[in-house]
Structure 1
Amino acid sequence: MPVATACPIVLTAAERHQLKKAAYGHKTAYRARNRAQIVLHAARGRSNAHIARETRLHLDTVRTWRGRFADGGLPALADRKRPGRPARFTPVQVAEAKALACQLPAETGIPLARWSCPELAAELIARGVTDSVSASTVRRWLRQDAIKPWQYRSWIFIRDPDFRGRAQRVLDLYARTYEGEPLGADEYVLSSDEKTSIQARCRCHPTLAPGQARAMRVNHEYRRGGALAYLAAYDVHQADVLGRCEATTGIVPFMALVEQVMTQEPYASAKRVFWIVDNGSSHRGKRSIDRLAARFPNAVLVHTPVHASWVNQIEIFFSIVQRKVVTPNDFTDLDQVRARLHAFEDRYNATAQPFQWKFTTSDLDDLLARLDRHTPTDRHQESSVALTA
């Protein structure tokens, strides 16, 4: 019997370049690499048997992919479409499962706080959407649209009637403008607040330093050594922090911080110093504005909206203090807490850069528009009536 002649392979420069990338690329799939190597060997005039020995593939595999490339070129090296197993679930069933996951269980009469994949699968069967479905299948459907009904985040809905005006005033100060006018070189913006109840917890056993394959170990039991409040003012554009420790918060401790800051340069001789504060009892309302202006005429108190401390940049600094200074809490007494806070303050001021604040008034408008879409009309009216009353 005559022996079948192998299909001759002639490559263009572009085809050779692509095949080499596939044959020697580190991220190429294993089967794609094998097919590219078969074609490259064939282009050198080698027989199928020789190629099979070189690539350690079966002779029929070499013959198949050599023939496919000869008939269809590079596109023929891809897998052909296969019918596969018929889909068990229709697109409508998948859509109903996703729609159910995007509803609160209480709204559907189910006594659950959150959906889980097994609960969703059981509910789909109970509703007759499908005869049977596994929790893993439901999880795969939800993963397609990144739906995770078992997770939740806490948040506070806006209830300040002047939210936009107050928030815009703060955001404009971060952008060095106030009431439409740019700030001068002798005008400063300070973000201030109090970090309350920093405790001195003396561990009953000394904290063990980390070692090889071992994390730091902090004893669970401790003795309480009291608590203090850390008051700080953060210069938004200079990245300087001025702070003090007090036994508690209140009007007197806050005014002591103001006295400490406003008697130092460059704030003592500044044209205006804007103090951004929240609505805590230490600096709430019109009285706090008048109190500050009476003591320091160049000081301007600016309040954030109610329940919007996230607009206040000092909260970012306090989160740094919490992560780098206070946690894990292992102090013998309050004096050690004070010393650590003041030492970190000096360390921070030596190298700090202003925060890259990117939330602008345009982002604020987008946020308010999204919240309006999630506000039921009846609840919105009730909130408006309550605020008016």
Structure 2
Amino acid sequence: MPIGSPYVVCLTSEQRSELEAVTRRATAPQRQVLRARIVLAAADGVSNAGIATVLGVCVDTVRKWRNRFCRNGIKGLVDLPRSGRPRAFAAGVVAEVKALACELPAWSGLRLARWSCPELAREVVARGVTEQISASTVRRWLADDAIKPWQHRSWIFPRDPYFAVKAGRVLDLDARVFDGLPLGADEFVLSVDEKPGVQARARKHPSLPPEPRRAVRIESEYARHGTLAYFAAYDVHRAHVIGRCEATTGIQPFGRLVDQVMTTEPYASAQRVFWIVDNGASHRNWAAAHRLNDAYPNAHMIHLPVHASWLNQVEIYFSAVQRKALTPDNFPDLHHVAERLLAFQNHYNATAHPFDWTFTRADLNNLLHRLGHHNLHTPRPEPAWQPPTN
């Protein structure tokens, strides 16, 4: 008689249900299904040789998974961790490559604006970090840490010493607060700016309409027929725009927008109307604020910090104008451009709602704190380039 296995499998009802579920699951890995069937057969009293014959495996395989289950239960049916192939590069090499990718190429004396993976691989070998390495290996390491030195973005750090004060005052007005007091029903906040250089470009050939699986085709060649400037005052809390088209920007065109707005209700009889503007030449510094207040005593100009147009809500409206009214463009003359802009303005006023502006003073303080932390780690400047000597 064959000698029975010293490892006797006894299943609880929960273990049997779980193993039977594995054998019925269509998406279960085949190796897990096989191991579950071995254990179920062993629990039914079948010998190792009998299980091997029925399932078409060797006896050693049956013995292995019977033993593993008796020692560790269902967890014993999972593969043990494997060491895998030994690393070709030490962890220090990987760290040096990533550190080099975070430096500007000029720091290494290379006249490059940005790194690429082949250039990084050559520089690593030149420095003696490793004898050889491929660009694909460097690319894989950088992808693991989401480092992409070949990408860049433009950025301007706020350097106005009163940035927090000026920006905070604008954010308070967005929240209908000024000098710590809530605004009244007859007080209004206008976000004002101009969109210069709006071109009248006439396409030299007609566009092709869309078809299945093909977008509209716009002719790239065009003839220029001049430019104009679009001035707009956006009521932050009423989502209402008052705008006009002018031949150019400047103090006088901006003054005509002021007259157009301040002679219109409800602004003409309002207690206070706050004009949020950036530092453009049409409305720069204290002189522009005095001109506005002298002409209309209930109008008060609030200047944004330099390089903070992203706090001016009218810029969001201008983005909608560009996307929905001016792109793609095909205008025979400036009259048609002005007509399109004013028609879109009327359409916007009929359907718009105030922007869901959520950026607050607390968010501003957090942003300035993070930027201050970055400034503490300002990278060293690029070295002056020296021409090669023969």
TM over 0.5: yes
**Correspondence list, 1:374-389, <5 A:** 374-375=374-375
CA contact (8 A) 1:167 1:305 kept: yes
Alignment correspondent of 1:325: 325
CA contact (8 A) 2:16 2:40 kept: no
SS at match of 1:326: coil
- CA deviation vs aligned residue, 1:147-173 (integer Å, no higher than 9, x gap): 111111112233323222211111111
CA contact (8 A) 1:42 1:51 kept: no
- CA deviation vs aligned residue, 1:211-232 (integer Å, no higher than 9, x gap): 1011110001111122111111
Distance 1:360 1:24, change over 3 A: farther
> Could you tell me how far 1:13 is from its partner in structure 2?
3.4
SS at match of 1:122: helix
Alignment correspondent of 1:256: 256
CA contact (8 A) 1:23 1:34 kept: no
Task: For 1:107, give the aligned amino acid.
Answer: W
> Could you tell me how far 1:276 is from its partner in structure 2?
0.6
Alignment correspondent of 1:152: 152
Alignment correspondent of 2:32: 35
Q: Distance in 1 between matches of 2:2 and 2:309?
A: 87
Q: Distance in 2 between matches of 1:22 and 1:359?
A: 55
SS at match of 2:81: coil
> Could you tell me how far 1:329 is from its partner in structure 2?
1.3
Alignment correspondent of 1:336: 336
**Correspondence list, 1:346-361, <5 A:** 346-361=346-361
Alignment correspondent of 1:10: 11
Moved more, 211-220 or 343-352: 343-352
**Correspondence list, 1:251-290, <5 A:** 251-290=251-290
**Correspondence list, 1:1-389, <5 A:** 10-13=11-14, 16=17, 20=21, 24=25, 31=29, 35-36=32-33, 39=36, 43=40, 59=57, 63=62, 67=66, 68-69=68-69, 71-375=71-375
Task: For 1:231, give the aligned amino acid.
Answer: F
Moved more, 130-139 or 71-80: 71-80
Q: Distance in 2 between matches of 1:65 and 1:315?
A: 70
Q: Report the identity percentage.
A: 54
Q: Distance in 2 between matches of 1:165 and 1:334?
A: 41
SS at match of 1:73: helix
RMSD: 3.4
Alignment correspondent of 1:383: none
Task: For 1:332, give the aligned amino acid.
Answer: P
SS at match of 1:167: helix
Q: Distance in 2 between matches of 1:256 and 1:213?
A: 48
Moved more, 190-199 or 245-254: 245-254
> Could you tell me how far 1:288 is from its partner in structure 2?
0.8
Task: For 1:325, give the aligned amino acid.
Answer: A
Task: For 1:206, give the aligned amino acid.
Answer: P
CA contact (8 A) 1:193 1:231 kept: yes
- CA deviation vs aligned residue, 1:118-167 (integer Å, no higher than 9, x gap): 11111111111111222122222222222111111112233323222211
CA contact (8 A) 1:39 1:69 kept: no
- CA deviation vs aligned residue, 1:6-65 (integer Å, no higher than 9, x gap): 98573543774698489648xx6x52x7625862796496989999999xx964599489
| TM-score, normalised by the number of residues in structure 2 | 0.84
Task: For 2:32, give the aligned amino acid.
Answer: R
Task: For 2:36, give the aligned amino acid.
Answer: V
CA contact (8 A) 1:20 1:36 kept: no
Size of the alignment, in residue pairs? Answer: 373
> Could you tell me how far 1:84 is from its partner in structure 2?
1.4
Distance 1:360 1:46, change over 3 A: farther
Task: For 1:303, give the aligned amino acid.
Answer: H
| TM-score, normalised by the number of residues in structure 1 | 0.84
> Could you tell me how far 1:100 is from its partner in structure 2?
1.1
Structure 2 residue ranges without an equivalent (≥5): 380-390
> Could you tell me how far 1:339 is from its partner in structure 2?
2.2
Moved more, 10-19 or 144-153: 10-19
CA contact (8 A) 1:38 1:51 kept: no
CA contact (8 A) 2:38 2:62 kept: no
Q: Distance in 2 between matches of 1:208 and 1:3?
A: 85
Task: For 2:333, give the aligned amino acid.
Answer: D
CA contact (8 A) 1:35 1:65 kept: no
Q: Distance in 1 between matches of 2:76 and 2:9?
A: 16
SS at match of 1:218: coil
Task: For 1:277, give the aligned amino acid.
Answer: V
Distance 1:65 1:346, change over 3 A: farther
CA contact (8 A) 1:9 1:42 kept: no
CA contact (8 A) 2:225 2:332 kept: yes
SS at match of 2:260: helix
> Could you tell me how far 1:359 is from its partner in structure 2?
2.4
> Could you tell me how far 1:89 is from its partner in structure 2?
1.7
- CA deviation vs aligned residue, 1:261-303 (integer Å, no higher than 9, x gap): 2222222222211111111111111111111111211111001
CA contact (8 A) 2:229 2:247 kept: yes
CA contact (8 A) 1:9 1:39 kept: no
Larger Rg: 2
> Could you tell me how far 1:82 is from its partner in structure 2?
1.3
CA contact (8 A) 1:232 1:241 kept: yes
Q: Distance in 2 between matches of 1:127 and 1:279?
A: 49
Q: Distance in 1 between matches of 2:236 and 2:181?
A: 18
